[in-house]
Structure 1
Amino acid sequence: MALAVFFGTSGAVVPYARAADTLPPIVSPPVSSVLPGKIVYAQLTTPDLAQAKTFYGSLLGWTFRDVRVSRGHYAQAMAGGHNVAGFVEQPLPSGDRPRHEPVWLPFISTADTDALARAAQGWGGKILFSPKDIPGLGREAIIADPQGGIFVAIRSASGDPADTDTPTVQGEWIWSALLTGIPANAAGFYQKLFSYQVEGGQDESGESRYVLESQNYDRATVNPLPPRLPASAPARWMNFVQVDSVGAAAEKVSQLGGRVLVEPHLDRNDSMIAIVADPAGAVFGIMEWHVPAVAGEAR
């Protein structure tokens, strides 16, 4: 049995460690709470771990702890003393580079990984990595929704981090959005899996958008694909991290060898955001949110 992670757009699952390896827990010290539907963690697969650590450490102030695994290399990313992400090093497959890209995966909490995986298949999803116990992390499965959006369903071995009213600070994840061709269908799929309450609305262009809510907290939005992408493009999750200044962070992204894909701008809720890519091409969002708000409130 091997631990595994989805890497790229071709549907490949690549092993990076054996079951004897123990990865750092999501919550330390452990707690008993389970908050289904909450996005509790993220994992980056990258071809160059050293480069990624330099980039994210310099940009966000993350610190890292290398973790010994049987295959490849793994590092734990920390922000403010909290475990925020796992970094997995995997080389790009030779001869097929256009079909593969480094990727950030969101981890969504569930009370029962196996039942959720079965339900996902029943509603048109695809299991990329069958439910397995990942020592230290918990029981996880990697799933593609019917439109291709990839996420990890996890029953954390250490419980889920509590919701809090404390404002998010630089380096902490603040929001997640699913970009997808048919938002209404995607919202329905995730509602069935995680029992989300779903609120819908339209933006100024008439496009439908949805908010996914659990435990009375807004967890994520479901948005249409940006116009620059064809309607047939696969869905993708976008994770946003809090920064003190989106403008300054965007400049630093370029200085550190990354790219700014969407320039800093105000979103429809007057938060400053930008979409960027790290030097290896992994895409994520940066957000500047200064107004104190209940954690999880729609951004």
Structure 2
Amino acid sequence: MGNPHGSFIWYELMSPDPEGAKTFYDAVVGWDIEPKPAGELDYRMIRRGDGGNAGGILKLDQAMQDQGAKPTWLGYVGVDDVDKFVEAATARGAHTIMPPWSVEGIGRMALIADPQGAVLYVMKPTPPGGDPDATSDVFSVDAKGRVNWNELSTSDPQAALDFYGPLLGWVNHDTMPMGELGGYHFLDHHDLRFGATCGTMGGQPPAWRYYIGVDSIERAKAAVEAQGGTPTMGPHEVPGGSWILLGRDPQGAEFALVGGK
């Protein structure tokens, strides 16, 4: 793939009710999530208004839930070699949740938890059509209907920087003070500011949070409430003039939105 090692290349919602998730996110974000595909695996592409994909939805079946899987959004980071990455991450204190495996035509991937417990997929995708220069465009700093920001809330931000930096090439050039919460440490990669890491709030466990771009936070909040979701924080204005909203969808997955007021 043409995306540099260490780039976010996919986002995935794990949900026990993909039909309910479609109704909710189509209304809130403006997506058109595809119907259930043929076959046993219920994995649906999240279609954007411009014809591209924003990610996918995997149905959480009962067996997955019995093993502890819960509704959640997960991110995939592209790496040059999944096996070598997992070995290096484990040596730095990560825990392997799902060891490397391959899916024909899709790629090789693994699921890890960083030393503080935040969960993340790593993947070396099979280039679509065999084109080695093919790139993923699911992340954009400003395009609506795509993830615009990747935020890691963790019990030890400095340890997180020390972990991810050498493995993925992420660097922290700037930090914004947040009072009692400490610093908001911005993350840069190949001259792209793609996210940040900060301390956890309210005793929440370490986790990644992915902010989806919407046209209007006020409109999106009304849609969230109308579709049975629950706002949990915001809307709040953030530096730069954007507004954010956190909440839980009707199936229980936390989501985050960013956009104009």
* TM-score interval for Structure 1 and Structure 2 normalised by the shorter chain: 0.7 to 0.9
Tell me: CA distance 1:59–1:192, structure 2 relative to 1, closer, same or farther (3 Å): same
Q: Deviations over 1:198-217 (max 9, x none)?
A: 22424140612322222111
Distance, in Å, in 2 between the alignment partners of 1:251 and 1:35 is 38
Cα pair 1:177 1:221 within 8 Å, conserved: yes
2:9 matched residue in structure 1: 40
Gaps of 5+ in 1: 1-31, 291-299
Are 2:108 and 1:134 aligned? Answer: no
Q: 2:183 aligns with which of 202, 208, 222?
A: 208
Of 84, 91, 96 in structure 1, the residue corresponding to residue 54 of structure 2 is 84
Map of 2:136 onto structure 1: 161
Partner of residue 68 from structure 1, selected from 38, 45, 67 = 38
One-letter amino acid of the counterpart of residue 86, structure 1: G
Matched, 1:279 2:250: yes
- Output aligned runs, 1:243-254, within 5 Å: 243-254=214-225
- Distance in 2, Cα, partners of 1:163 & 1:245: 20
Q: Name 2:196's counterpart in structure 1.
A: 221
Are the counterparts in 1 of residues 152 and 209 from structure 2 also a CA contact under 8 Å?
A: yes
Q: Which residue, out of 181, 185, 190, partners 2:164?
A: 190
SS at structure 1 position matched to 2:225: helix
Instruction: Report what 1:179 is aligned to.
Output: 153
CA distance in 2, matches of 1:50, 1:288: 25
Counterpart secondary structure, 1:199: coil
Distance across 2 between alignment mates of 1:68 and 1:107: 24
Give the Cα–Cα distance (whole angstroms) in 1 for the partners of residues 178 and 210 of structure 2. 23
Residue type matched to 2:195 in 1?
A
> Which residue is equivalent to 1:53?
22
Asked whether the 8 Å contact 2:80–2:124 carries over to 1, the reply is: yes
Distance 1:138 1:77 in 2: 19
1:86 CA displacement:
1.1
How many percent identity over aligned positions?
Answer: 25
- Secondary structure of 1:253's counterpart equals helix
Partner Cα distance (1:68, 1:134) in 2:
18
Query: Counting helix residues as a fraction of each chain, which structure ranks higher?
Result: 2
Deviations 1:89-110 (Å, cap 9, x if unpaired)? 114569979x653010011111
Question: How many residue pairs were aligned?
Answer: 252
TM-score, normalised with respect to structure 1 = 0.77
Q: Is the 8 A contact 1:41 1:85 kept in 2?
A: yes
Q: Which residue of 2 aligns with 1:115?
A: 84
Q: Indicate if the aligned counterparts of 1:179 and 1:225 stay in contact, CA closer than 8 A.
A: yes
Using the TM superposition, name which of 86-95 and 61-70 deviates more. 86-95
3-state SS in 2 of match to 1:234: coil
